[in-house]
Amino acid sequence: MDWGMKNRLSRILQPKTGRTVMLAIDHGYFMGPTTGLEKPWEAIKDLAQYADVLMLTRGVLRNCVPQDLDKPIVLRVSGGTSIIGKEMLHEGMTVDIDDVIRLNASGMAYSIMVGTDYERDTILDLSRYADLAEQYNIPLLAVTAVGKELGKDARYLGLACRIAAEHGAHLVKTYYCDDFEKVVEGCPVPIVIAGGKKIPEKDALQMAYDAIQKGAVGVDMGRNIFQSENPVAMIQAVRAVVHDNATPEEAFKIFEEKK
């Protein structure tokens, strides 16, 4: 692996622990002004300091995030459909590599839709970004399994993650599931988990803990942080799970103390 690629990857996976707390705030690219993210920077300005990475779109980055923010960015580079459209998540390439570079991104995020009518389009576009990722040493995060119609079991998620890695993703984002260790075992690149829809803080911390114990290298979490009753306390609790191996009980205690 070339120096530039390794260097950018180390901006994402923190060298001290090899893990990451990515704060996902890209939801608006297909959900519009979703609850908690109506004003993106207002929502996360107190959270950013506790995140290792921000994952967002170029529109939010350019318009809402201060330019002097010292925080690595993973830029969402896929899109094209919305939650009210007929082909939700039939995504294509939305950002030119020149703009990824102009924005000084440390990584790119692209969604593949394995098992849908348009899996081929999305996997081919992922491969195209994998070529660009190697050309410019910018890590590629493949996002799998977004959408409630898709299965979220180890067999499906294992298949989707493995396909993403085979086509050149450097990191894969997926969901936690029973037998998650099988998903990790079958995937030759590091995995981070999305949080999914908002659940009680205790349960979200348990999920993050289980994912880490079973081999995930971190989280790329959105709603379970920014929709929490206390987002700043929640992200600190998640951090403790990811970087300090805090148990769910210890992490929940941190949440209670900080809120």
Report the C-alpha gap between 125 and 112 in whole angstroms.
9
Using the contact rule CB under 6 A, the part of the chain among 150-158, 188-196, 206-214, 237-245 near ligand R5P is 188-196
DSSP 178-203: TTHHHHHHT-SS-EEE---S---HHH
Size of residue set near ligand R5P by CB under 6 A:
15
Least distance (Å) between residue 49 CB and ligand R5P: 19
Q: In this structure, what token pair is assigned to residue 113?
A: 């839709």
Of 75 and 146, which CB lies nearer to ligand R5P in the complex structure? 146
Within residues 11-30, the interface with ligand R5P by CB under 6 A covers: 24, 26-27
Query: Is residue 58 part of the contact set for ligand R5P (CB under 6 A)?
Result: no
Query: Is residue 222 part of the contact set for ligand R5P (CB under 6 A)?
Result: yes
Of 223 and 243, which CB lies nearer to ligand R5P in the complex structure? 223
Report the C-alpha gap between 259 and 152 in whole angstroms.
32
Query: Is residue 223 part of the contact set for ligand R5P (CB under 6 A)?
Result: yes
Least distance (Å) between residue 169 CB and ligand R5P: 14
Report angle CA 7, 97, 30 to the nearest 5 degrees: 105
Least distance (Å) between residue 133 CB and ligand R5P: 18
Residue 107 sits at φ, ψ, to 5 deg, of -165, 165
List for the chain the helix, strand, coil content (%; round to 5).
45, 15, 40
Query: Is residue 195 part of the contact set for ligand R5P (CB under 6 A)?
Result: yes
86 carries an active-site annotation: no
Whether residue 159 contacts residue 148, with contact meaning beta carbons closer than 8 Å, is answered with no
Query: Is residue 251 part of the contact set for ligand R5P (CB under 6 A)?
Result: no
Amino acid at 79: G
Query: Is residue 143 part of the contact set for ligand R5P (CB under 6 A)?
Result: yes
**Number of neighbouring beta carbons within 10 Å of residue 43:** 18
Query: Is residue 52 part of the contact set for ligand R5P (CB under 6 A)?
Result: no
Q: Which residues have a Cβ under 8 Å from the Cβ of 131 and sit 6 or more positions away? A: 168
Least distance (Å) between residue 30 CB and ligand R5P: 7
Chain residues in the site for ligand R5P (CB under 6 A): 24, 26-27, 55, 111, 143, 146, 194-196, 220-224
Active site residues: 173
